[in-house]
């Protein structure tokens, strides 16, 4: 019989992509700038939070702020 234990859910993004993302935002001053840069890669909120070392909700707030600035 197959092993029925489910593996814990982890990011499906490869560690190489996460490292590349980290290097791309290394010089950015704040979370808003980091999210703006990382959005170009199509990463999830969770992946961006891992790269930036922040909470997922903070990433969502930065994306919302970005949308608000674009609407102005």
Q: Rounded to whole angstroms, how far apart are CA atoms 39 and 64?
A: 12
What is the pLDDT, as a whole number, of residue 66?
85
What is the pLDDT, as a whole number, of residue 43?
93
**Is residue 4 situated within a structural domain?**
no
The residue segments making up the domain with residue 61 are: 29-71
**Is residue 43 situated within a structural domain?**
yes
What is the pLDDT, as a whole number, of residue 5?
53
Total domains present in the chain: 1
CA torsion 15-18-23-29 (nearest 10°) is: -150
What is the pLDDT, as a whole number, of residue 2?
52
The per-residue b/e assignment along 32-52, b for 16 or more CB within 10 angstroms, e otherwise, is eebbbbbeeeebebebbbbbb
Low pLDDT (below 70) residues in the chain: 1-12
The structure's pTM equals 0.76
What is the pLDDT, as a whole number, of residue 28?
94
- Residues in Cβ contact with 34 at an 8 Å cutoff, skipping those fewer than 6 apart: 25, 28, 48, 51, 52, 62
């Amino acid at each position: 019989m197959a092993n029925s234990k489910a593996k814990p859910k982890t990011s499906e993004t490869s560690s190489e992509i996460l490292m590349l993302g980290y290097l791309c935002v290394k010089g950015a001053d704040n979370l808003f700038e980091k999210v703006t840069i990382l959005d170009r890669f199509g990463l999830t909120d969770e992946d961006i939070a891992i790269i930036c070392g922040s909470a997922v909700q903070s990433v969502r707030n930065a994306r919302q702020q970005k949308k608000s600035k674009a609407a102005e």
